[in-house]
Amino acid sequence: MKAIKRIMPSLYKGVIHLMWFKNLLIYRLTQDLPFDAQVLETALATKPARPCASQELATYGFVAPFGKGEDAPLVHASQDFLLIAARKEERILPGSVVRDALKEKVEEIEAEQMRKVYKKERDQLKDEIIQAFLPRAFIRRSATFAAIAPKQGLILVNASSPKRAEDLLSTLREVIGSLPVRPLGVKVAPSATMTEWVKTQKAADNFFVLDECELRDTHEDGGIIRCKRQDLTSDEIQLHLSTGKVVTQLSLAWQDKLSFVLDDKLVVKRLKFEDLLQDEAEQNGGDDDLGQQDASFTLMMLTFGEFLPQLFEALGGEEIPQGI
């Protein structure tokens, strides 16, 4: 199979789809919830993804994370982990198209009726134009995946945008009735820890500073410096830090398994699973698509089970808000 990958990489990628998250927003369950795969499946089925009707701007609902068709389950369970996915379908109306049509309509009315068109009428005309254009608008679909680890009390969303994650979590809350979660926080500001790592040229155990960072001046309207493929131990970088700039994004590696970019909001971006893990998933998954997806998802979650506690510890430990 590896020989096939080398000879026809694009064809291979089109055949086998692996489940590796690219980004990570981390949420802590604040109460124990009995996540049963079958009960969750029934709940998600009450709000399936569907196409936009002709006059709808957007729809949102759950889809099968693996496979297609009516028989594909909406919940994929592996060991103690659950994987779900939601799809947003939206009609894209470029603002410039609406503005141009509105301007043309207003000019036409003002010329024909010899009167001024004021805001209330403009807004009504704009709504009419949008409704007229909607059936011809472009359709855009996007999927968001989330992994639930009940024993660890975590929900991990494959997104870098909190809004996108909240869309999924609020819809999940809607169908199951309750979802007590909050974004996971740490005791020390990530920017302080990352700045210290670059200053001392040494990260926490099992973590390694790579060659990319973002430096930000803490003063109001302060500048931002983005460094890529740079030696972060250089005098130039150290000089910026000595003038009070802080590290707000930093590329890191963990053991020999992951590389990623961490930002000051504790968002993990551009996650890359190294060949060691990809090869292991490939060997465990066999030759079929579903087997490969299941093997990669399971291995990813087991890896997160090691990685995340070490990341939280490296950032000063998890912060537990008072009263929880």
Q: Are 251 and 229 in contact (CB under 8 A)?
A: no
At 134, is the secondary structure helix, strand, or coil?
A: helix
- pLDDT value of residue 240: 80
Structural domain includes residue 12: no
pLDDT for 68: 78
- Would you state the pLDDT for residue 172? 97
Residue 131 belongs to what domain range? 95-135
* Residue 225 placed within a domain: yes
Q: Are residues 167 and 149 in the same domain?
A: yes
Cα gap 282→285, rounded to integer Å: 5
Question: Which residues, listed in sequence order, are joined to residue 89 by a DSSP beta bridge?
Answer: 59, 141
Considering the domain architecture, whether residues 116 and 224 belong to the same structural domain is answered as no
- What 3-state DSSP class applies to 2? helix
Distance CA 209, CA 222 (A): 25
Query: Do the beta carbons of residue 85 and residue 151 sit within 8 Å?
Result: no
Q: Are residues 215 and 82 in the same domain?
A: no
- What mean pLDDT do residues 300-307 have? 96
Supply the pLDDT for residue 7: 35
Q: Is 29 inside a domain boundary?
A: yes
Q: Which residue has better confidence, 68 or 160?
A: 160
Comparing 200 with 4, the larger pLDDT belongs to 200
3-state class (DSSP) for residue 30: coil
In 47-137, the DSSP E strands lie at: 58-63, 76-78, 81-92
Compare 192 and 12 and report the one with higher pLDDT.
192
> Tokens at residue 307, please?
């990685």
In contact, 187 and 319? CB cutoff 8 Å: yes
Q: Which residue has tokens 């960072």?
A: 213
Reported as a single tens digit per residue, the pLDDT across 199-253 is 888 889 999 999 898 888 877 666 888 888 888 778 788 888 888 889 999 999 9
Q: Is residue 293 part of a domain?
A: yes
pLDDT at 11 (0 to 100): 34
Dihedral (CA of 280, 282, 286, 289) sign: positive
> Distance (Å, rounded) from C-alpha 134 to C-alpha 247?
44
Is the pLDDT assigned to residue 119 strictly greater than 50?
yes
What the block records as the tokens of 191 is 């920017």
263 and 306 both lie in a single domain: yes
Is residue 199 helix, strand or coil? helix
Residue 9 in domain? no
**What's residue 255's pLDDT?**
94
Nearest CA among 216, 210, 224 for reference residue 259? 210
The contacts of residue 276 (CB under 8 Å, 6+ apart) are: 256, 257
288 CB-near residues (< 8 Å, 6+ apart): none
Task: Compute the mean pLDDT over every residue in the chain, rounded to the nearest whole number.
Answer: 87
DSSP string, 216-229: E--STT--EEEESS
Count CB neighbours of 63 within 10 A: 20
Residue 6 lies inside a defined structural domain of this protein: no
Q: Residue 56 pLDDT > 90, yes or no?
A: no
Question: Span 157-172, mean pLDDT?
Answer: 96
Q: Residue type for 70, please?
A: E
Q: Are residues 131 and 163 in the same domain?
A: no
Residues 100 and 166 in one domain: no
Q: Is the pLDDT of residue 160 over 60?
A: yes
- Residue at 147 is within a domain: yes
Do 260 and 128 fall within a single domain?
Answer: no
Q: Report how far residue 232's alpha carbon sits from residue 253's, in angstroms, rounded to the nearest whole number.
A: 14
Same domain, 166 and 41: yes
Q: Is the pLDDT of residue 134 over 70?
A: yes
State the pLDDT at residue 323.
56
Pairing label, strands 154-157, 25-29: antiparallel
Dihedral sign, CA of 88, 91, 94, 98?
negative
Is 59 domain-assigned? Answer: yes
Query: What pLDDT does residue 234 have?
Result: 80
Residue with tokens 């005791």: 187
Question: Domain check: are 156 and 24 in the same one?
Answer: yes
Task: Please indicate, yes or no, whether residues 109 and 150 belong to a single structural domain of this protein.
Answer: no
* 136, pLDDT greater than 70: yes
Together in a domain, 211 and 159: no
More confident residue, 102 or 81: 81
Total of domains in the chain: 3
pLDDT 10s digits, 5-44: 433 333 333 334 578 999 999 999 999 888 899 999 999 9
| Same domain for 302 and 279 | yes
Give the residue from 198, 203, 234 showing the smallest Cα distance to 214.
Answer: 198
Total-model pTM = 0.82
The pLDDT, as a whole number, for residue 17 is 55
